Amino acid sequence: MIKAQAPRILYNPFPKTNYLEQGDYGHILRFPDTVIVLKIPHRIINGAPHEEARAAESLKALKRDRAIYETLATKPTHPNTVQYFLSTDLAIFIKFEPDTLEKRLDRPFTVPISEGRQHRWIMEIARAASWLESLDYVHGDIRPAKILLDGFEHVNICDFRRTTTRGCEIEVATFPTYRPGTHAIAGPAHEQFAIGSCIMHRALLRGDYPSTVEDSTLGPVTLSCWNAHYGSMKDVEHAIEITIGVMERQDDVAAHISTTEYNACIQKCRDFLFQHEQGDILME
C-alpha cells in the first residue's frame, strides 16, 4: 500500500491575519482592521529539500531586512521611506500602503499619470536614496516593484535586505535596473544607475537601454546617472531638483501617520504578539 504524502502547506505563524500577496523573499499578511502589514519568510511545511533550502535563504533575507529597519528606527524618519513599527525573528511589521510604483505604471490609461506626478516620484525616490546615503547606507535594490505608493501616491521606499554600508561589497539587484558587473562596491555609481533606470522604467521593459533624447527634461539626468557622473546621491537629488524645480505645495508633501497613531499601531502589534504567544502556550 502506498503511503499518502503529507500535505504541503504554506507556513503562516500568524493565522489570525489575512494573506495579501507574495513578496520578494516571503509573504505579506494584513493585520485585520488596521494599517499594519507583516512580512514573513517563505516556508512550505512538508516541502521538498530544495524548498527547505529556499526557506533558509528567505529567513536570512528577513534577518538582513530586519537589521536595517531596526537601525533606521533609531534615526529621524524620512517621509519617503515606509513606516516601520517593530519586528520579531519571524515577522517585520510595517505600515500598509495600497500600491506599488510598478503596478501604477502598468495602468497609465486607467488613471492617467501627469508629467508632474512622474517628476514628483523621481524627486522623492532620489531624496530617499540621498537620505540613506547621509546615514552611510546604499539601498541596493531601488526599482518600481520595491517602491510603495501611499493613498496620495507619494513614494515610500521599502525592502532593505540588500542594503549595506557605503564602501562595502554589495549584492545589488539585477541588470537592467542596476549597473552590470560583479563585486559591486556600495556607493553612488550603482545607486544613481538605478535612479536613471527608474526614470526610463517603461522603456526598459521593452528590452535594451532606450535613447534618452526623447525626454528633453530628465533625459540628460538619466544619461548622467547611467554614466556615473554624480559623486553622490545628494548630487543626483540636486540635479533633479534643478531640472524639474521644486513643484510641491506645502499640503502635497509626503507625511507619516501622527505620533499618536504610530504609538497606537506599535501597541496593537505588541498586543497581537502577546495574544499569539498565549495561544501557542494554550495549545501545547
DSSP letter for each residue of 62-123: HHHHHHHHHHHTTS---TTBPPEEEE-SS-EEEE--SEEHHHHHT-TTTS---HHHHHHHHH
- CB atoms under 10 Å from CB of 8, counted, come to 11
Provide CATH 3.30.200.20 ranges for the chain: 9-97+257-274
pLDDT at 34: 93
Cβ 221 vs Cβ 199: under 8 Å: yes
Query: Cell 500500500, residue?
Result: 1
Amino acid at 180: P
pLDDT at 83: 97
pLDDT at 209: 47
Q: Which helix (H) or strand (E) holds 22?
A: strand 18-22
Cβ 34 vs Cβ 85: under 8 Å: no
Please report the sign of the dihedral spanned by the C-alpha atoms of residue 206, residue 207, residue 211, residue 217: positive
Cβ 210 vs Cβ 166: under 8 Å: no
Q: DSSP code of 3?
A: P
pLDDT at 24: 81
Q: Which helix (H) or strand (E) holds 233?
A: helix 233-244
Residue 149 dihedral angles phi and psi, to the nearest 5°? -120, 135
pLDDT at 281: 39
Burial class (CB in 10 A: 0-12, 13-18, 19+), 268: middle
Provide CATH 1.10.510.10 ranges for the chain: 99-244
Please report the sign of the dihedral spanned by the C-alpha atoms of residue 199, residue 122, residue 73, residue 278: negative
CA atoms of 248 and 79, how far apart (whole Å): 14
CA atoms of 242 and 254, how far apart (whole Å): 20
Within the chain, which residues score under 70 in pLDDT?
Answer: 1-4, 172-183, 202-216, 246-253, 279-284
C-alpha grid cell, residue 194: 538605478
Q: DSSP code of 24?
A: S
CA atoms of 191 and 44, how far apart (whole Å): 34
- Predicted TM-score of the model (pTM): 0.87
C-alpha grid cell, residue 111: 488613471
CA atoms of 220 and 230, how far apart (whole Å): 12
Topology of domain 99-244, CATH = Transferase(Phosphotransferase); domain 1 (1.10.510)
pLDDT at 259: 93
- CATH of region 9-97+257-274: 3.30.200.20
pLDDT at 279: 67
pLDDT at 207: 41
